[in-house]
Structure 1
Amino acid sequence: MSILLMIILVSVAGGVLSVLAAAFVALKARAAWVPVLISYAIGALLGAVFLEVLPHALQLSSSLEAMSATVLVGILLFFILEKLVLWRHHHGKVGEVHEGQSNQGHDHGRSGLMIMIGDTFHNFVDGILIAAAFLVDVRLGFVTAIAIIAHEIPQEVGDFLILMHSGYTKQQALLFNLLSSMATLAGALGAYFALGLVQHWVPTILGLAAASMIYVAVADLIPSLHRRTELQATWQQIGLIGLGVSSIWLAGELADRI
């Protein structure tokens, strides 16, 4: 199977799988399942970074110091971007509250539209990361895709809830999320043809991918687990994080046999 065909199949299947899994959780499953998905996603993200992405990035980089700086700059960049998003959300929240008070709890689709625009861009970047990983190594491509799918599911659950709060029906929320997930394929195809001409960009993109995964896991996902401090919940979280790391290791081992 060619690298291009694998990138296409993984991008399409990954996007559709994450949306359908999120739809099942958001529309059918209990809310208590969301922390389970988050714990597993943390393990998958950190496993992908430290078992696969960073080792490959360091191997391809001409300088260990340059790669370390790339990861550092990436983490700071994602911090700044998230601050901008939070600032925009904070300044738009007052209008949404007043709108909700007079319009039965939804905002005529404005917040739903905003979340779809942001999610589409995010999916496009995910496609770039998947293609860049496959161009380095098939094993790295598969584990990167698994990590991306794992952290996409909790995010897609939130997207579904925002869309429905914004006034969209369940069917519309599913359709819009599926369309948004196709941006992953667009990003992957664009990256495949562009990166094939400029291979020297691959280490930098992998370094930024590692920074993205580290930031999402540490800054966004892990703090949500600290809301439950009971010993039983803590052991459950540790076990699920370990399961996420183990699944990345297993995916890497299986990819070696393909």
Structure 2
Amino acid sequence: MSVLQSIIFITALAGTVSVLIAASCSLSLLSKMVENMVSVSVGILLSTALLHSLPEAFSFPGSEPRLLFATLLAGLLGFFLLEKISLLRHSHHHEGDGHDHHHGHDAEVAGRSGWMILVGDGLHNFVDGVLIAAAFMADYHVGFFTALAIIAHEIPQEIGDFMVLLNAGFTRSRALLYNLICGLAAVLGGVLAYFFLAQAHSIMPYLLVIASSSFIYIAVSDLIPQMHRRPHWVESLRQTVLIACGVGFVLLLSVLH
């Protein structure tokens, strides 16, 4: 098997295995607890962005902190504008308000956070594909263990993504399909890195920052406001504990990684 064939095979495996493992947890064990799992998703998304992706982006040799912070700002504002355009397009109406909206209109509007999380997930998987390809081009064994490490650290993020998609109104089958498609972005990253490694390496920190901005924006602008709608102190305590569980899950796998 050639190096390119190995890269395609391993990136496809890495991009789908983590999704399937996360799906087996999210769609069978956790989907009945979506309301509570929103809190876990907040912890997972924020800790993935702030404790994993952003530090990785800033650790790239030659990366410019000012440009990376500017990219983070641009990403946050960009996702704000995407959501604003979506809101304007759908106006502020809802089903049953007398404006003759079709069934499922509310789910479509709620689904905008789902589409944004998929954008961030796709970019993150693309970067993972570049990392796997770079490792494989150095040494087969290094590439293999890099893929295993990426699968391990992707699982909590994918669980968080599934919870966001289910909360946004996606069906289980659609959530699985779109996550698998995003997972295959790793193959694209791997193939492009094989042919253009220097150029791909130079844009990786900025892709990581944009992906992180989507995770941060969705957690702060969409999920946390939902949690504030249940202000009772018992519910607030449960939410805090579940956020801590999400953070702890990511930290545990980071330590093992």
- Does the pair score TM above 0.5? yes
CA–CA distance in structure 1, aligned partners of residues 75 and 168 of structure 2:
25
Q: Which moved more, 1:241-250 or 1:12-21?
A: 12-21
CA–CA distance in structure 1, aligned partners of residues 66 and 158 of structure 2:
27
- The aligned counterpart of 1:63 is 64
CA–CA distance in structure 2, aligned partners of residues 115 and 18 of structure 1:
22
- The aligned counterpart of 2:177 is 179
Change (3 A) 1:53 1:4: farther
Q: Letter of the aligned partner of 1:34 in structure 2?
A: V
Post-superposition shift, 1:146?
2.1
1:138-177 to structure 2, matched below 5 A, reads: 138=146, 139=149, 142-160=152-170, 173-177=171-175
CA–CA distance in structure 1, aligned partners of residues 152 and 84 of structure 2:
31
Matched, 1:225 2:215: no
Q: Letter of the aligned partner of 1:64 in structure 2?
A: P
CA–CA distance in structure 1, aligned partners of residues 228 and 111 of structure 2:
28
Post-superposition shift, 1:178?
3.8
CA–CA distance in structure 1, aligned partners of residues 50 and 244 of structure 2:
13
Q: Letter of the aligned partner of 2:226 in structure 1?
A: S
Post-superposition shift, 1:133?
3.6
Change (3 A) 1:43 1:21: same
- The aligned counterpart of 1:168 is none
- The aligned counterpart of 1:8 is 12
- The aligned counterpart of 2:125 is 130
- The aligned counterpart of 1:52 is 52
Deviations 1:116-167 (A, max 9, x none): 999678646523312414644845664345224313323234334xxxxxxx
Q: RMSD over aligned Cα, in angstroms?
A: 3.5
- Tell me, yes or no, if the aligned pair for 1:120 and 1:180 is still in contact at 8 Å: no
Deviations 1:177-206 (A, max 9, x none): 443333123322112222442211101101
Secondary structure, aligned partner of 1:159: coil
Post-superposition shift, 1:51?
1.3
TM-score in terms of structure 1 length: 0.73
- The aligned counterpart of 1:103 is none
CA–CA distance in structure 1, aligned partners of residues 159 and 7 of structure 2:
19
Change (3 A) 1:178 1:234: closer
Identity of aligned residues (%): 25
- Tell me, yes or no, if the aligned pair for 2:19 and 2:155 is still in contact at 8 Å: no
Secondary structure, aligned partner of 1:182: helix
CA–CA distance in structure 2, aligned partners of residues 96 and 182 of structure 1:
38
CA–CA distance in structure 2, aligned partners of residues 24 and 232 of structure 1:
27
Q: Letter of the aligned partner of 2:186 in structure 1?
A: A
- Tell me, yes or no, if the aligned pair for 1:14 and 1:149 is still in contact at 8 Å: no
CA–CA distance in structure 2, aligned partners of residues 9 and 120 of structure 1:
23
1:1-258 to structure 2, matched below 5 A, reads: 7-17=11-21, 23-24=27-28, 29=32, 33-60=33-60, 62-90=63-91, 98=100, 100=102, 106=103, 123=118, 126-133=121-128, 135-136=130-131, 138=146, 139=149, 142-160=152-170, 173-196=171-194, 197=196, 198-255=200-257
- Tell me, yes or no, if the aligned pair for 1:12 and 1:185 is still in contact at 8 Å: yes
- Tell me, yes or no, if the aligned pair for 1:119 and 1:180 is still in contact at 8 Å: no
- Tell me, yes or no, if the aligned pair for 1:42 and 1:221 is still in contact at 8 Å: yes
TM-score in terms of structure 2 length: 0.73
Q: Letter of the aligned partner of 2:203 in structure 1?
A: W
Secondary structure, aligned partner of 2:123: helix
In structure 2, the gaps of 5 or more residues are 1-5, 133-145
